[in-house]
Amino acid sequence: MTKDVTELVARAQELRQQAHHDALTGLLNRRAGEQQLQRCQRAAQLECQGYALILADIDNFKSINDRFGHEEGDRVLQRCAALLSRKVRSGDALIRWGGEEFLIVLPGCKLAAAQELAERIRRTMACEQDAVVGTITLSLGVGAWQPGECSSTLLRRTDQALYRAKTSGRNQVAVAP
């Protein structure tokens, strides 16, 4: 009987893990990430505790897949996820937001600190050499919550900053005004 209960609890934990996490990278999946973002937004409105976002996107990822194959592309995604995991603090949320795009939610973080973190991430990624693919770079957009703003507006501003980082040459950080 006790063994059955233990197995059920373990299975429930496994299912919860699968429901909230991306199978390839182990990061939070988009749905769980959206919930984290909403929690952060509520705290911002109720307690006036701001937060910041970083959107990081691997540069020219399609050509990595094309040149080295989809499996190597998957490994590059895992490598990026591992690097990002090393850079964030325990209260932050690290999310696989899309194919080769990652969102970091930083509760209580101001714009300047988020920009510094994004720059540290960019530099570390660009300096490390992957044995197969060589240099991998990231473009990053950074935004900080403004009073009265909803999370989708902040997300849109941060995405626009990421777009500027891409169109300005990639391997750079752009900040949402």
Ligand X SMILES: Nc1nc2c(ncn2[C@@H]2O[C@H](COP(=O)(O)OP(=O)(O)OP(=O)(O)O)[C@@H](O)[C@H]2O)c(=O)[nH]1
Q: Provide the minimum distance between the beta carbon of 121 and ligand X in the complex, in angstroms, as a whole number.
A: 16
Does 100 participate in catalysis according to the annotation? yes
- Determine if 22 is a binding residue for ligand X (CB under 6 A): no
Contact residue for ligand X among 11, 31, 70, 120 (CB under 6 A): 70
CA 46, 49, 50, 55 torsion-angle sign? negative
Amino acid found at 85: S
Of the residues 14, 47, 72, 100, only one is catalytic, namely 100
Selected range binding ligand X among 45-53, 70-78, 111-119, 122-130, rule: CB under 6 A: 70-78
CA 42, 46, 48, 49 torsion-angle sign? negative
For 137-173, give the DSSP string.
Answer: -EEEEEEE--TT--HHHHHHHHHHHHHHHHHTTSSSE
| Rounded distance between C-alpha atoms, residue 60 and residue 13, angstroms | 37
Selected range binding ligand X among 57-65, 109-117, 120-128, 153-161, rule: CB under 6 A: 57-65
Q: Count of CB atoms within 10 A of residue 172's CB?
A: 18
Binders of ligand X among 100-159, rule CB under 6 A? 100
Q: Please give the residue ranges that form the binding site for ligand X (CB under 6 A).
A: 24, 57-62, 65, 70, 73-74, 77, 99-100, 166, 170
Catalytic residues, by residue number, are: 100
